[in-house]
């Protein structure tokens, strides 16, 4: 089951060279792109962009203007300020500066730990023969579907017993645990694609598992590691449930999402704060996403999206 | 805690963790050859198996057990919690909403994604056009919730008060009166679902677009020589060719939607009859301190995910067999 399941989730295993397709599809393009199709595409793109654009404009308008009229008036009555961002970040306003630091401190280990552990495990599953390998792999694979809700309360009481409650450790460990099945699954798929001869040849030369792992596999795995890294990064940075459960709302450990959700609940009409706050929380993931998009897409196509 | 202290803690944790991995690698490198394989495998798998057992397996089983206990978790009450979920009027609303979410979101998001993928396929600005639809995927559900709360913003219909929400402005301009999009049930649930569709359409588009590009050109060419027009091409060439990808997309979005929590919590807090199972789980477990019911709701989520995944795996296997 292990091998077939792995491949089964690849809807597109090999994408033919895009350049070749484009050349062949030149005629098709003319056939399908009618003015109506273009209009529909532009309309959809507009519908999808307008909400974000509206809030972005709002985040740069003075409070008085925001409360007085809609954001679309910025063309007729232009006004610009950075006060909203200043207020949202400062400790006597939204206090998001502190939470921004927390988000960073949470995210970095929560991405690194599962990547490293999963590469070790994926290597064992892909390239070491041992008894019960397939069964264990299927179990790990199946655990991907466990909703994290099922685990939260018992996990919380474990953390309390271990004296970890309220520290970053609860969030790091939880994200590592929840990320491992997907990480192992993705990395295993990529490792299996590496030609057997390459590994066998290294073994003939007397290389042990550790050398094979670092010298042969690691360089080839960079795209896979990047793909999972982005998933996990976006997942952790954007997570609300795990953070809310284990960190509560304290400025000591809670991330931006928690602070923003609280702000939305308590100051639901303070749009100067909410708009700036929303973009403060978005800027890092959007930058990471845009700069590493191709790895993200590759990971998506390899079946890696956490539900 | 100061910022410096926080980062120090972080580096300590990373250092500790590197040490653990270092020890594992040191152990593994002392064993070589086929005989050492078992030791190496055990060393490589130990941390993973330990974390997964403690973090997923044990808590999962414990939650199933808890779901048969009362609110305080100290008396066995059989299936009463499950009876509450299916019998209590409030809980029934929660179930109804969850069904709405899971039925509407995957189909609409996939339809929009597919339509858009076809529309922009091979267009001159394809990459940019895709990025616009794709970007909501990078945003947190909390951020998306705030963006849309602003779109739905309501101001009372009075002299001298202008609407600041885009949707109500359009309503007023068209001669209508402003609407409380997030408060008036049952349509408020639909307005929350739109946010999820907005996020997921990009995912659908990306996967389906790659799949469309992988359709062999000779099939398309042959169909065209047979005189197949745009709609026929879509119906008889595109859709059958990308069927496996369509199923993956539908089921993946379905599972994601089932667990949706952040959007509801950020936008309405589950008030005004908008709660869903994942949100109700949180409210019951942490707000109402009803551990038993919370556990039962979590188990229900798990139970609902299983058939979707099973269907997914079966479909993909049969399509591979062909």
**Residue A197 pLDDT > 80, yes or no?**
yes
Which of B48, B248, B306 shows the shortest C-beta gap to A11? B248
Give the mean model confidence (pLDDT) for residues B225-250.
Answer: 87
Q: Is the pLDDT of residue A63 over 70?
A: yes
Query: What integer pLDDT is reported at residue A16 of this predicted model?
Result: 41
Give B319's pLDDT tier (boundaries 50, 70, 90). Answer: low
The better pLDDT of the pair A10, A47 is held by: A47
N-to-C CA span, chain B: 60
Instruction: Check residues A283 and B316 and name the one with the higher pLDDT.
Output: A283
For residue A12, CA distances in Å to A53, A226, B212, B312 come to 33, 19, 9, 15
pLDDT of residue A49: 93
Q: Are the beta carbons of A246 and A110 closer than 8 angstroms?
A: no
Q: Which of A115, A58, A8, A250 is nearest to B153 (CA)?
A: A58
| Residues on chain A touching B155 (C-beta within 8 angstroms) | none
CB environment B20-59: b (16+ within 10 A), e (fewer): eeeebbebbbebbeeebbebbbbbbbbbbbebbebbbeeb
Mean pLDDT of the region B11-18? 93
Contacts of A84 (CB under 8 A, 6+ apart): A59, A60, A61, A63, A272, A273, A275, A276
Question: Over the stretch B128-148, which tens digit does the pLDDT of each residue have?
Answer: 888 889 889 889 999 999 999
Q: Is A52 exposed, middle or buried (0-12, 13-18, 19+ CB in 10 A)?
A: buried
Query: Rounded to 5 degrees, what are φ and ψ at B180?
Result: -85, 85
Nearest to B201 by CA among A86, A47, A15: A47
Q: Is the dihedral of CA A96, A97, A98, A104 positive or negative?
A: positive
The domain spans of chain B are: 3-66, 86-321
Amino acid A232: pLDDT: 92
Nearest to B147 among A238, A278, A301 (CB): A278
Residue of B nearest to A183 (CA): B48
Contact B6 A44 (CB under 8 A): no
CA atoms within 13 A on the CB side of A81: 19
pLDDT digits (tens, 9 = 90+) for B88-135: 998 999 999 999 999 999 999 999 999 999 888 877 888 888 888 988
At CA B313, angle to CA B311 and CA B315, rounded to 5? 65
- Position B58 scores a pLDDT of 94
Q: Chain A: nearest CA to B221, how far in angstroms?
A: 9
Contact B100, B193 (CB under 8 A): yes
> What is the CATH code for B86-321?
1.10.3720.10
State the average pLDDT over residues A38-65. Answer: 91
User: Average pLDDT, whole number, for chain B?
Assistant: 89
Could you tell me if B120 and B130 are in contact, meaning their C-beta atoms sit under 8 angstroms apart?
Answer: yes
Taking alpha carbons only, the member of A234, A58, A135 closest to residue B203 is A234
Confidence of residue B65 (pLDDT cuts 50, 70, 90): very high
pLDDT at A124 over 60: yes
What is the ipTM for the molecules in this complex?
0.88
Summarised one tens digit per residue, pLDDT across range A151-192 is: 999 999 999 999 988 899 999 999 999 999 989 988 888 888
Read off the pLDDT band of A118 (50, 70, 90): very high
Q: Which residue of B has its CA nearest to A257?
A: B142
Q: Is B100 exposed, middle or buried (0-12, 13-18, 19+ CB in 10 A)?
A: middle
The ranges assigned to domains in chain A are 34-81, 96-301
Q: How far apart are CA A153 and CA B67, in angstroms?
A: 12
How many residues belong to chain B? 322
Nearest-by-Cβ selection for B48 from A9, A101, A184: A184
Work out the percent of chain A whose per-residue pLDDT is above 70.
87
Percent of residues, chain B, with pLDDT higher than 90: 44
How much is the pLDDT for A17?
41
pLDDT digits (tens, 9 = 90+) for B162-171: 888 899 889 8
Q: Decide yes or no: CATH 2.30.42.10 for domain A96-301.
A: no
Asked if the model's pLDDT at residue A18 lies above 50, the reply is: no
For residue B86, name the pLDDT band (cuts at 50, 70, 90): very high
What average pLDDT does range A37-45 have in this prediction? 89
């Amino acid at each position: 089951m292990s091998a077939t399941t792995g491949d089964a989730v690849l809807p597109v295993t090999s994408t033919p060279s895009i350049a070749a397709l484009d050349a062949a599809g030149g005629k098709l393009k003319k056939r399908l792109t009618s003015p109506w199709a273009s209009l529909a595409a532009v309309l959809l793109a507009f519908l999808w962009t307008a909400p974000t654009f509206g809030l972005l404009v709002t985040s740069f308008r003075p409070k008085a203007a925001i409360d007085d009229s809609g954001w679309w008036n910025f063309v007729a009555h232009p006004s610009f300020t950075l006060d909203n961002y200043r207020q949202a970040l400062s400790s006597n306003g939204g206090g998001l500066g502190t939470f921004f630091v927390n988000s960073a401190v949470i995210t970095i280990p929560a991405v690194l730990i599962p990547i490293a552990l999963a590469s070790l495990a994926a290597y064992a599953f892909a390239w070491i023969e041992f008894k019960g390998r397939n069964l264990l792999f299927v179990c790990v694979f199946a655990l991907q579907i466990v909703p994290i809700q099922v685990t939260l309360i018992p996990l919380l009481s474990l953390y309390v017993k271990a004296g970890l409650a309220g520290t970053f450790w609860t969030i790091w460990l939880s994200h590592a645990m929840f990320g491992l099945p997907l990480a192992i699954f993705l990395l295993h798929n990529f490792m299996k694609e590496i030609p057997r001869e390459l590994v066998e040849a290294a073994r003939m030369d007397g290389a042990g598992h550790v050398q094979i792992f670092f010298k042969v596999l690691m360089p080839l795995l960079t795209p896979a590691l990047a793909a999972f890294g982005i998933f996990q990064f976006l997942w952790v940075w954007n997570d609300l449930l795990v953070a809310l459960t284990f960190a509560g709302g304290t400025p000591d450990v809670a991330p931006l999402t928690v602070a923003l959700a609280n702000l939305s609940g308590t100051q639901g009409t303070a749009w100067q704060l909410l708009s700036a706050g929303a973009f403060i929380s978005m800027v890092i993931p959007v930058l990471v996403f845009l700069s590493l998009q191709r790895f993200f897409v590759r990971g998506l196509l390899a079946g890696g999206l956490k539900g | 805690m100061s910022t410096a202290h926080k980062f120090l803690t972080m580096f300590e944790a990373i250092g500790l963790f590197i040490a653990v991995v270092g020890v594992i690698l040191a152990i593994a490198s002392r064993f070589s050859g086929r005989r050492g394989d078992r030791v190496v495998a055990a060393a490589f798998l130990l941390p993973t198996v330990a974390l997964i057992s403690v973090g997923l397996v044990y808590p999962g089983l414990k939650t199933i057990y808890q779901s048969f206990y009362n609110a305080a978790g100290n008396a066995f009450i059989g299936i009463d919690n499950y009876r509450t979920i299916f019998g209590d009027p409030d809980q029934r609303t929660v179930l109804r909403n969850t069904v709405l979410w899971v039925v509407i979101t995957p189909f609409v998001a996939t339809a929009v994604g597919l339509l858009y993928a076809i529309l922009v396929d091979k267009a001159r600005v394809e990459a940019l056009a895709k990025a616009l639809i794709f970007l909501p995927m990078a945003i947190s559900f909390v951020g998306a919730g705030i963006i849309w709360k602003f779109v739905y913003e309501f101001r009372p219909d009075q002299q001298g008060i202008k609407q600041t929400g885009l949707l109500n402005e359009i309503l007023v301009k068209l001669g209508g009166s402003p609407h409380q999009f997030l408060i008036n049930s049952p349509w408020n649930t639909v307005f929350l679902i739109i946010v999820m569709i907005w996020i997921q359409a990009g995912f659908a588009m990306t996967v389906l677009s790659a799949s469309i590009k992988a359709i062999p050109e000779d099939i398309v060419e042959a169909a065209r020589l047979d005189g197949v027009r745009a709609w026929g091409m879509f119906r008889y060439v595109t859709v059958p060719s990308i069927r496996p990808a369509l199923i993956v997309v539908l089921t993946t979005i379905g599972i994601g939607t089932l667990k949706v929590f952040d959007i509801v919590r950020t936008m309405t807090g589950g008030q005004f009859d908008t709660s869903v199972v994942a949100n109700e789980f949180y409210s019951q477990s942490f707000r109402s301190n009803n551990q038993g019911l919370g556990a039962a709701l979590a188990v229900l989520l798990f139970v609902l995910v299983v058939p979707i995944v099973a269907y997914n795996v079966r479909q993909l296997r049969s399509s591979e067999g062909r």
